[in-house]
Amino acid sequence: MSKITVAGTGYVGLVAGVCFAEFGHHVTCVDIDEDKVNLMKSGISPIYEEGLEELMKKNYSAGRIDYTTDYKTAYKDADAIFLGVGTPEQPDGSANLTYIATVARQIAETVENHCLVVVKSTVPVGTNDRVEQFIQDFLVNDVVVEVASNPEFLAQGSAVHDTLHAERIIIGTESKWSEEMLNSIYKPFNIPIVSVNRRSAEMIKYASNDFLALKISYMNDIANLCELVGADIQDVAEGMSYDERIGAKFLNAGIGFGGSCFPKDTQALDYLAQQNSYELQTVKAAISVNKKQKTILYKKASNRLITFSGLKVAILGLTFKPGTDDLREAPSLENVPLLLSQGADIYAYDPVGTNNFAKLYPGGPSGNGSITYVHSIEQALQDANVCFIFTEWGEIKAIDPLMYKRLMRTPLLFDGRNIYSINEMKEAGVEYHSIGRKSGS
Ligand code: NAD
């Protein structure tokens, strides 16, 4: 079993570290955030992911995983160091590689063994070549450090399951030694390994994410047209889904993609294309459709109502998708400021996302309106004039349509996730607006 260090304990790094430990490797997770490290040492996960805390506790008490801010000790004699630090979007669309560079330099200054640096973070094509050279430039000891690409494909909300049961593992290497090292680390996972060169591995990650983003934007574009011509996007998607060339997944229309990956990875690939004097028209279109889609529900509601001023507005769901507490690029972040600027009194409910949201919008007066965080769906809906659904959490999907009628002052619902059938809403007496389908009461 290998001695593995993971740099960065976010969604990617922590989940990877815990899963390596679960398969018997000796893992040290490094983070610069001391509060996070203390939380993890006490068995608490700093992020919400189903099943993660249980595996953290199990492997910590078995002595297979530890957490530290002391990178020097953690890097110096590791067999492999996995990088799971962030690569956020910069204003020009390019990826910010500062965190990668910091860790690369720390590795160069401390490592004492022949070691493999494995970049799990999503980085532009060619970055791994630069990381290898950068480490070489700053290397203090007379050792060999090689760099491999191993992009991550987990989805937040099912990160542990996705890692333990991935459909494929991509490894991008430039030497037999690196390839064999990664093969042996991943052997216990028993998952197909696709072995390519580093640049292809880097491109596989962007090409995969951007293809999914494109699929979502395509369905949203078609949904908007469906509304104009009297077709129903859900029927259309079902009809399409039987074609194996299309596939049944990612055909749901809605208020656009969010999260820490699709928005920044579409921008980053577009930027890479521009840098190479190429116009990536398909990805550009996905970006522009998504931008408009995020506020489409707000525009529909604005057309239906004269004003939001003085109205109680219920919001169900704040996170960018169910199963995560992550708010990055969530549609709620586009819509809440618009509603507040128009004087709405918002009552927001989310099963796990309100604490993070309250860091951005503390409860109380805000803009021309106010925001209150509530602990139940009922509290949000009670006496509301209008309700928006931004995230399709299971408990929101399970709401009995009659509840909207019973609790709201006016049962007016704008559903950004097409959760309900139009007929059930009609029967319940709820005025229902969704995406790509007929509106009505
Ligand atoms: P994150 O922001 O959740 O976590 C990054 C962590 O790195 C933070 O805890 C931060 O404190 C830590 N960090 C920063 N500098 C450090 C340093 N010098 N040493 C040690 N730790 C340091 O990020 P994430 O969402 O896990 O994403 C990480 C990378 O993986 C990104 O490139 C992202 O694009 C990619 N990715 C993310 C997902 C996802 O669903 N979140 C999926 C696939 C790939």
Query: Is 439 contained in some domain?
Result: no
Residues 255 and 378 occupy one common structural domain: no
Q: Does 281 share its domain with 424?
A: no
Average pLDDT estimate for 323-347: 95
Tell me, yes or no, whether 105 lies in a domain.
Answer: yes
Residue 11 Cα to ligand 1 midpoint, Å, equals: 7
Residue after which a domain boundary falls, among 234, 258, 291: 291
Q: Is the CB of 85 under 6 A from ligand 1?
A: yes
Quote the DSSP letter at residue 165. T
CATH number (domain holding residue 155): 3.40.50.720
* Shared-domain flag, residues 14 and 48: yes
Residue where a domain terminates, one of 270, 291, 312:
291
Mutation test residue for ligand 1: of 260, 264, 325, the one with most atoms within 8 Å of CB: 260
pLDDT at residue 233 is higher than 80: yes
Does some domain include residue 438?
no
Annotated binding site: 31, 36, 87, 122, 205, 250-254, 258, 264, 321, 328
Other C-beta atoms closer than 10 Å to the C-beta of 44 total: 12
359 Cα: distance to centroid of ligand 1 (angstroms):
20
pLDDT grade for 314, boundaries at 50, 70 and 90:
very high
How do residues 93-107 score in pLDDT, each as one tens digit? 899 999 999 999 999
Sheet architecture: strand order including 145-149? 65-68, 26-30, 3-7, 80-83, 115-119, 145-149, 169-172, 193-196
> Same domain, yes or no, for 107 and 186?
yes
Mean pLDDT (whole number) for 260-281: 95
Q: What is the mean pLDDT of the chain?
A: 96
Residue nearest to atom 41 of ligand 1 (CA): 11
CA of 360: how far to CAs of 254, 363, 387, in Å?
A: 24, 10, 21
Sheet holding 364-366, edge to edge: 364-366, 369-373, 345-349, 312-316, 386-389, 412-415, 431-433
Name the DSSP letter for residue 95: B
In this structure, the answer to whether residues 278 and 302 fall within a common structural domain is no
Same domain, 88 and 215: no
Task: Give the angle 157-158-163 at the CA atoms, nearest 5°.
Answer: 135
pLDDT at 103: 98
Within a domain: 132: yes
Q: Are residues 313 and 416 in the same domain?
A: yes
Residue 299 CB contacts under 8 Å (≥ 6 apart), including other chains: none
Are 12 and 116 members of one domain?
yes
CATH of the domain at 286: 1.10.1040.10
Mean pLDDT of 136-160: 96
CA distance 268 to 262: 10
- Point out the domain boundary residue: 291, 322, 345: 291
Percent of the chain with pLDDT over 70: 100
Residue nearest atom 2 of ligand 1, based on CA coordinates: 86
Q: CA 190 to CA 198: how far, in whole Å?
A: 22
Taking 90 as the threshold, does the pLDDT of residue 354 lie above it?
yes
Q: What is the DSSP letter of 216?
A: H
Cα(210) to ligand 1 centroid in Å equals 19
Q: Decide if 8 is inside a domain.
A: yes
Do both 185 and 252 map to the same domain? no
ipTM above 0.90, yes or no: yes
Q: Is 150 in the pocket of ligand 1 (CB under 6 A)?
A: no
Average pLDDT over residues 18-23: 96
Residue 395 lies in a domain: yes
Confidence check: pLDDT of 1 > 90: no
Would you say residue 129 lies in a domain?
yes
Q: Which residues are annotated as a binding site for substrate?
A: 205, 250-254, 258, 321
pLDDT tens sequence across 59-115: 999 999 999 999 999 999 999 999 999 999 899 989 999 999 999 999 999 999 999
- pLDDT higher than threshold 80 for residue 119: yes
Buried b (16+ CB within 10 A) or exposed e, 269-299: bbbbeeeeeeebeebeebbebbeebbbbbbe
User: Binning pLDDT at 50, 70 and 90, where does residue 437 land?
Assistant: very high
Whether the predicted pLDDT of 260 surpasses 90:
no
Range of the structural domain that residue 154 is part of = 3-196
Which one of the listed residues 29, 115, 261, 387 is annotated catalytic?
Answer: 261
Residue 440 domain-assigned? Answer: no
Same domain for 285 and 311, yes or no, is no
Split into its structural domains, the chain has a count of: 3
Instruction: Go through 134-146 and write b for each residue having 16 or more CB atoms within 10 A of its CB, e for each that does not.
Output: bbeeeeeeeeebb
CA distances, 345 to each of 161, 370, 435 (Å): 39, 5, 24
Phi, then psi, of 394 in degrees rounded to 5: -55, -45
| 179 and 210 in a common domain | no
How high is the pLDDT of residue 249? 95
Counting atoms of ligand 1 from 1, which one is nearest the CA of 153?
43
Residue 440 has pLDDT above 90, yes or no: no
Whether 261 is catalytic is: yes
CB 254 within 8 A of CB 294: no
251 and 212 part of one domain: yes
